[in-house]
A and B are shown apart, each in its own frame.
Chain A
Amino acid sequence: MTTEVAAVGLTHGASEDTGLGNRGPQSKGIVVPFGFWLFVLSDMVLFSALFATYASLVHATDGGPVTNQLFDRTNVAIETLALLISSFICGLAIIAAKRNNLLWTEIWLLFTGLFGFVFLVIELTEFVGMVHIGAGPQRSAFLSSFFTLVGCHGAHVTAGLLWIGTMMAQVWAKGFQPHIIRRLLCLSIFWHALDIIWVAIFTIVYLIGTLP
C-alpha cells in the first residue's frame, strides 16, 4: 500500500527528497542574486516604458533638429565597444573572485570601471555638444524623451561605477567573505544588464535613427 501511494505522489518516505518544500528555502547565495535578478528585470520594464515613450515622440521634433542631424555613428560604435569590453571584463572579475584571487579581482574590476568611465565620458561629451547647439531636452518632445531614455541609462552606469569602486574597497578590506561574493555577483548582474539595455538603445535610437 505504501509503495502504491508513493507511486502516485501522495506521500514520501523519511529518506526521500521530493522537492524544495521538503528542505526549506534555498541558501542565501541563491536567493540574494535571484532577488536582484527580479530587480534587474523590473528595471528593464522601467526602460521599456521609456523606449515606448521615445518611439511615440521621436517624430515630434517641433521644427527642431531630427535624429539624422544629431547622432554620430563613430561615437556610438566606440561607446558600444567600451561597454561591451567592460561587461566582458566584469565576467573575468567574477571568475577571479570565485577563486579568491585578490590581485586579479581588483585588476579586472579596475578595468571594468575604466571602460565604463570611457563610455560615460563619451556620452556626456555628446550631451554637452547637443545642448551647446541648442538641442537640449527642452527643445522638443523628441529631445526630452531622448535625454530621459539615454540619460537614465547613463545614470545607471554612473551608479554602477560608484558600486564598482565600493566593491573594490570592500574586497580589499574584507576579503572574499560569502556576503562580499554575493554583492560582487549582484554587481555583475547589474553591469551585464546595463549592456543589454545599451544594445536596445544603440539599435533603436542611434542606428535606426540614422538610417538614410
Chain B
Amino acid sequence: MSERDPELTNVAPGEPHDSLMSETISYVVGLGLALLLTGVSFWVASTSALWGPGVAVGLVVLAIAQMGVHLVFFLHITSGPDNANNVLALAFGVLIVFVVMIGTIWIMAHLAANMGPTPEMTNLMTQRG
C-alpha cells in the first residue's frame, strides 16, 4: 500500500487538493455558476413572463442549486470516498435545518386554525342551544 489509497484517507473540508491550474479552474467555474444562478434568480424575480405563484418556489430551487455550487466548488465537499465524513456531517446538518424550518413553518401556519374555540364562540353556542 505504497500509493495513497482514497478509501483509507480523508480530506479536510475547504481544502483544494490538485494542481494550481485545476484548483483555480474549480473556483472560476464555481464563480461562473454562482453568478449565473444569481442572475437567473434576480431575473425570475423581476420578470412578468412567468406564472406568478410559481416564482417563489422557483427562487427557492435556484437558491438550493447555488448552495450546492458553493459546497462543491468553494468548499470542495464532493462524493469522493475521502470526503465521507464531511458529507455525513453535512447530511445531518441539512436534516436538522429542514426539520427546524419546515416544522416551524408548518406548525405556525396552522396555529390559528387548530386552536380550540375561543370563549366567545363557546358562549354563542351555549346561547343557541
Contacts and interface: CB of A to CB of B under 8 A. Distances in A.
A121 interface: no
The residue among B11, B59, B74 with the most chain A CB atoms within 10 A of its own CB is B74
Mostly helix, strand, loop or mixed at chain A's interface?
Answer: helix
B63 A45 contact: no
Contacts of B24: 92, 95
Interface of B: 1, 8, 10-16, 20, 23-24, 27, 30-31, 34-35, 38, 41-42, 45-46, 48, 52, 55-56, 59-60, 62-63, 66-67, 70-71, 74-75, 85-86, 89-90, 92-93, 96-98, 100-101, 103-105, 108
Mostly helix, strand, loop or mixed at chain B's interface?
Answer: helix
Contacts, number: 139
17 contacts: A30-B10, A34-B12, A36-B13, A37-B13, A37-B14, A41-B89, A44-B93, A49-B104, A52-B101, A81-B38, A88-B30, A92-B24, A94-B14, A195-B74, A196-B71, A200-B63, A208-B59
A73 B70 contact: no
Nearest to B96: A45
Nearest to B102: A52
